[in-house]
Amino acid sequence: MPSLFQSLCAAIIDDDRVKVKELLANEPVLAKRGVAEGDRYETRMAHWIYSGDTVLHVAAAGYRVEIARMLLAAGADSASAKNQAL
């Protein structure tokens, strides 16, 4: 069974706004979590997700604007930055 955090990431990738809203309502701290596992290419978004990215990074990378707004409203840190070396 996936953790709440894994469920949130999957909902963001799937652009499932209803599920994201439900998860954040139950556990607002999820908005502040980082993607702890290794780097991976997410084909459903055509984008890389890097270890240390936050759920806000994932939403932004997938152009999930409404979800990014929900995450910010739930306390996601817009100043959090972990960029990959170019």
Within a domain: 82: no
Within a domain: 81: no
Share of the chain above pLDDT 90, in %: 41
Within a domain: 60: yes
Within a domain: 62: yes
Within a domain: 18: yes
Element (H or E) spanning 65, and its range? helix 65-73
Within a domain: 78: no
Q: What's the pTM?
A: 0.82
Give how many domains the chain has, as a whole number.
1
Q: Which residues of the chain have pLDDT under 70?
A: 34-37, 81-86
Q: Which residues partner with 41 through β-bridges?
A: 48
Residues in the chain: 86
Within a domain: 83: no
Q: How far apart are CA 45 and CA 66, in angstroms?
A: 15
Within a domain: 84: no
Q: How far apart are CA 73 and CA 40, in angstroms?
A: 27
Full residue range of the structural domain in which residue 11 is found: 4-73
